[in-house]
Amino acid sequence: MPVIAIDANVCKRDGLCAMACALGIFRQEEKGAVPEIARTEMCIGCGHCVAICPHGAISHDAYPEGSVGPIHSERLPAYDQVLELIRSRRSKRLFKDTPVEKDVIEKVLEAARFAPSGHNEQPTEFIVVQEKNALHTIGTLTVEALGKMMKPFRSPIGRTIMGFVIGRRRAAVYARLAPEMDGVASIFKSGTDIILNDAPVLILFCADSAGGFPSVNTNLALQNATLAAEALGLGCFYGGFVVVACARDRSIAKFLSLPDTHGIYGALALGYPRLKFDKWPERNPAKVKWVVAG
């Protein structure tokens, strides 16, 4: 249970902590009174209370002195700037044969770790792979895992059986993917790295598989990482083949000595891009259903 306190001598009794706390840990019964602390056992350590108090009246043992920083509003981008970054980000799969500096990778990870997570668990862990033989091994293990996964869908009997196991619609999708996966394997075995495209860096996003929403949490972190990579002049793409392989096979996890309790839920290949895009293509209009007051 966290230790939380309010310094009544510093508190200005504005009730901001009570308004900001989603779990009702702070309660202001009367306007102008020092808020009370209740339900401490419900605290998830989100930091809202120490972030919202402009007077520094709240102490929280999860946030010792120096762990709460000011927001520099002058650095915040406008909506148009954020949208331009999002629209300009593209999946880039052609990289320079140039190593990515450690401090640049650390900046990508810094952005990733600030992603939101369910219950503020902050469960995402990272594996950064830069060694060329290790990258090739991950590609090989990915191809092998995909081959095993698609094997039942290469025959009518196998497709029928899998239709009962995973449902007809999903089985039909996998059956359509089987020839593509065979093509991927053939290209990779011929010497072309279609899995990681010779990216100099692969970041794997991992989490305890028993935690809450590990796939959602890790991929929120990954999206932060993609935008940071774009802002740093890096190119990147989502390693979908690797993620699919890891969802059904432990070979890559074992190769990287990942604990049996953990899974790999996201993969981001990155490096310095050889191509620069000066235009962005339009996407499909958003499919929206508005539910409004009538």
205 neighbors 242 (Cβ within 8 angstroms): no
CA distance 220 to 117: 8
Residue-wise pLDDT tens digits, 24-56: 999 998 999 999 998 899 999 999 999 999 999
The Cα–Cα gap between 235 and 271 comes to: 6
Return d(Cα 227, Cα 72) in angstroms, integer: 19
For the stretch 82-97, pLDDT in tens is 999 999 999 999 999 9
Question: Looking at 75-79, 82-86, 105-109, 173-177, which range is the least confident one?
Answer: 173-177
Domains observed in the chain: 4-60 (3.30.70.20), 79-128+195-271 (3.40.109.10), 134-189 (no CATH)
Tokens of 260: 């049996």
Q: Is the pTM of this model over 0.75?
A: yes
Residue 236 pLDDT class (50, 70, 90 cuts): very high
What is the C-alpha separation between 197 and 165, in angstroms, rounded? Answer: 34
CA distance 283 to 87: 9
CA atoms within 13 A on the CB side of 59: 9
Residue 78 buriedness (CB in 10 A; 0-12 / 13-18 / 19+): exposed
Query: Burial, 97: exposed, middle or buried (Cβ in 10 Å; 0-12, 13-18, 19+)?
Result: exposed
According to the model, what pLDDT value does residue 83 have? Answer: 97
